A and B are shown apart, each in its own frame.
Chain A
Amino acid sequence: MAGYIVRRLLQAIPVLLGTTFLIYFMVFAMPGDPIVALFGDKTPPPQVIEQLRERYHLDQPFIVQYFIFLGNIFRGDLGTSFSGQPVSEILAATFPVTLRLALLAIFFEMVAGISVGLISGLRKGGIFDASALVVSLILISLPIFVIAFVAQYIFGIQLGWFRTTVGSGAPTQDLILPALVLATISFAQITRLTRASVIDTDTQDFVRTAASKGLPRTRIVPVHILRNSLIPVVTYLAVDFGVLMVGATVTEGIFNVPGVGRTLYQAIIRGEGPTVVSFVTVMVLIYLVVNLLVDLLYAVLDPRIRYAK
């Protein structure tokens, strides 16, 4: 098991190198001069521009810039943004917010998606199943910003249950509404996935055998149907968690959440190479770790999967 984890972490190294290189290249290839853009309408004196260029190594050829960046990362220095703030500080400020938002969203979609999926699967073709299908289809076909604005209007303004935008420090109660909006995206997928999985498991021989042993249905459903059905759902949930961690740009924008998505979006607009690349590197890392955790969780859920030494 330990060997397997080490091997997977080693595999992450080329992935990280590849993604950082690609991102760095793309930021480098963006049109426009970031230093000039920094000053807006004003025209800074040429020596200031030269100084800034030197400071951010923008006078060096691309490949040299990349290796300077890489070297700094290995020393734990993620660089500074154009506003002079260390990137590591920006990361420390935004990631915890996004993490809370993502966890809340995952919690909502998990509870709602799995329960609705389970009931739909057990009562396939019934009224509940049909209504759940209609609701999921509506949610899946609405763009996220529509759902976000409608939720903001109804729950924030009309009913006044939540604040319409997230206050400073992003208190958790302010994150509930954006999390619910985020959860609607994957709710439909999780419902359909759980439903299909439950229907499949319900017809398995071992479920009939469990009944033939004299077990009541109230035990068969959670013990023999739900657990087996959750294996594919857990994969989806975990990957979805990775996606949410990487930031929900639109939702964070609408609710003014000071999280990763909004910050990254602004950095891209400003062409801030170090910030963008550092953020993406951390995101890739999170994604890789989450995927590794999913694979390990698999072995917990399904004892048939045992990773070789």
Chain B
Amino acid sequence: MTEIVNGANVQQQTSVDVGERPLLEIKDLQVGFSTQDGLVKAVDGVNITLYRGQSLAIVGESGSGKSTTAHAIINLLPGTGHVSGGQILLDGQDLTKASPREMEAIRGRKIGFVPQDPMSNLNPVWSIGFQVEEAIKANGIATGRKEVKKRAIEVLKQAGLQDADRRLKQFPHQFSGGMRQRVLIGMGLAADPQLLIADEPTSALDVTVQRVILDHLESLTRELGTTLLFITHDLGLAAERAEQLVVMYKGRVVESGPSVQILKDPQHPYTQRLVAAAPSLASRRIQATGSISAAESSMADNASDAAGDTIDLIATAEARAELVEAAASAPPAIIVEDLTKVFKIRGSGDFTAVDGVSFQIPKGTTMALVGESGSGKSTVAKMLLKLEDVTSGKIVVGGKDLASVTGKELFNLRSRMQPVFQDPYGSLNPLRNIGNTIAEPLHTHKVGTKATRRARVLELLDQVSLPRTLVSRYPNELSGGQRQRIAIARALALKPEIVVLDEAVSALDVLVQAQILRLLADLQAELGLTYLFITHDLAVVRVIADHVCVMQRGRIVEKATTDEVFDNPQEQYTRDLLAAIPGAGIELGA
């Protein structure tokens, strides 16, 4: 924590000399996309000023125009997008008027760009070395094969790939996500640009990897004196990593200023909602007051002031606290004993994905299974749902051993245990309308008549707070948050006792995420549901879970109540995960 605070101090000392000309000045920028219905404005009158050596973060939800702004700066807008007004001045030169050739000279050389998704931003058919060397050659940084290769290794080492010389010949698929992101950062900084635009550089990565990469990016840009324009949807992350914040909403800047000030005293209602909804910040505030019950008096007022009548995660967490006390003595809904899963991998022997995992979930409570990708948490969920065979161990659901359940009994069991998956886009059939999608489990299990099924669908839409008119609509007409509600409604259709939520909110924007989390909490209170909540994000856990199991490489390394895990983590790994929650180092002065 202290390290980051110190870092911020250093930055403040080196920044803002008011008399100086800004490195980047965006004046009244308008970006539109030509569609069949005419011009759709994605960015509408954005002003941003960024001085040399400063760091600035643009924050907003998806569709707010933050990435479009970034792409407009380097003139790489997708499809029909184009700048329809305003100026982008880089060191006095208007980039909106630059010729394609001039832009080619500016890209890479003056403005480095680190894209969002490390999986899709490297060409899969060329080696890492080829792609880095290409950037170096294009910008005339080095000539001659040996020189170029030397510089490529240097750049990658600088970006944190220690064994760069050995790995130049490897291909992107042989690198992990974190390693690929380092390659992309290396490429972005290959020509020593004055400005580096990092577009959600770590949102596709595990939290601990995210932290390491961002720390590295921060120290690297400070060392090289690179000005940083950082784009993120996570307010906590933005405030932690940048001195200045620009909050965007629907193509406009709604608030801008020094990060800490915005976080402590948000002016615009949208910013206030963002501050209230960010799980990273909410979990931090719950923690700051020690216990949830103590928080009730002081925080409830504070929160309602800030958030008005919008979603407040702290209130949600409080409501849940009472529920847990009542449920503490309930019999376990799920017992998992010594569960192991071994995958046979051709050519390289066995891989133990889940290794002797045991836990119990009391009825009506939420157990969070936390871990990074590859920790085995989703495999546990699949075995619980009987979508994956168990290698050894025992799973007991509602008093029945899953191993002995087959045929008709298994079919009935499935109706009592329903899943919600991560990707709200992939888990709904695009060719079925919402009504049919929600009614499908009822059909399969032959529940009720056509009329009662229809009534149940409408009731479910009410329960997940969606308008009944959606019944005849199709998934592509809905937003991500609405789709996830549909997925939840479908899971609830058969009135299950257990819902397995596999990263059910990870793909959603913070505000939507907060809404879904509250919905889940309300449904649990109303219907007495038992949740197995699988996530990589500890910040969300604080809000939703009663018990936490931290998984690492197939094993449970820590198992405790949520408060214990947050207040008094026993394992180094858990502490790392906690420290990786963005915004953890920010004093909110609650």
Chain A residues packing against B (C-beta within 8 Å): 203-206, 208-217, 219, 223-224, 227-228, 301-304, 308-309
Residues of A within 8 A of B113 (CB): 209, 212-213
Are A211 and B107 CB-contacts (below 8 A) given A219-B138, A303-B171, A304-B171?
A: yes
Residues of A within 8 A of B108 (CB): 212-215
Give me 8 other A-B pairs in contact (C-beta within 8 A), A205-B120, A301-B125 excluded. A206-B124, A208-B78, A212-B107, A213-B135, A214-B109, A214-B191, A216-B138, A304-B124
Secondary structure call for the A interface: helix
B79-130 interface (Cβ within 8 A of A): 79, 100-101, 104-109, 112-113, 115-117, 120-127
Residues of B within 8 A of A304 (CB): 124-125, 171, 173
Minimal beta-carbon separation of A303 from chain B (angstroms): 4
Are A214 and B104 CB-contacts (below 8 A) given A206-B121, A304-B171, A309-B347?
A: yes
Among A206, A227, A301, contact of B122 (Cβ-Cβ < 8 Å): A206
Could you tell me if B123 and A208 are in contact, using CB atoms closer than 8 angstroms? no
Closest partner residue, chain A, to B191 (CB atom): A214
Residues of A within 8 A of B126 (CB): 223-224
1/0 per residue B199-221: CB within 8 Å of A?
00000000000000000000000
In the complex, what distance in Å separates the CA atom of A303 from the CA atom of B172?
Answer: 9
Closest partner residue, chain B, to A214 (CB atom): B108
Secondary structure call for the B interface: loop
Residues of B within 8 A of A211 (CB): 74, 76, 107
In the complex, what distance in Å separates the CA atom of A211 from the CA atom of B75?
Answer: 10
Residues of A within 8 A of B117 (CB): 205
Residues of B within 8 A of A217 (CB): 100, 104
Closest partner residue, chain B, to A231 (CB atom): B125
Among B123, B139, B184, contact of A224 (Cβ-Cβ < 8 Å): B123
Closest partner residue, chain A, to B117 (CB atom): A205
Minimal beta-carbon separation of A25 from chain B (angstroms): 38
In the complex, what distance in Å separates the CA atom of A213 from the CA atom of B100?
Answer: 14
Could you tell me if B347 and A308 are in contact, using CB atoms closer than 8 angstroms? yes
Residues of A within 8 A of B347 (CB): 308-309
Could you tell me if B78 and A215 are in contact, using CB atoms closer than 8 angstroms? no
Among all A-B residue pairs, the 9 with the closest Cβ atoms = A214-B108, A212-B113, A213-B135, A205-B120, A214-B107, A206-B123, A303-B171, A209-B121, A205-B121
Residues of A within 8 A of B106 (CB): 214
Interface centre among B71, B79, B101, B108 (most CB of A within 10 A): B108
Could you tell me if B115 and A205 are in contact, using CB atoms closer than 8 angstroms? yes
Whether B187 is near chain A, meaning CB under 8 Å from some CB there, is: yes
Interface centre among A210, A211, A212, A228 (most CB of B within 10 A): A212
In the complex, what distance in Å separates the CA atom of A252 from the CA atom of B496?
Answer: 68
Residues of A within 8 A of B105 (CB): 214
In the complex, what distance in Å separates the CA atom of A214 from the CA atom of B138?
Answer: 6
Minimal beta-carbon separation of A103 from chain B (angstroms): 26
Whether B31 is near chain A, meaning CB under 8 Å from some CB there, is: no
Minimal beta-carbon separation of B513 from chain A (angstroms): 24
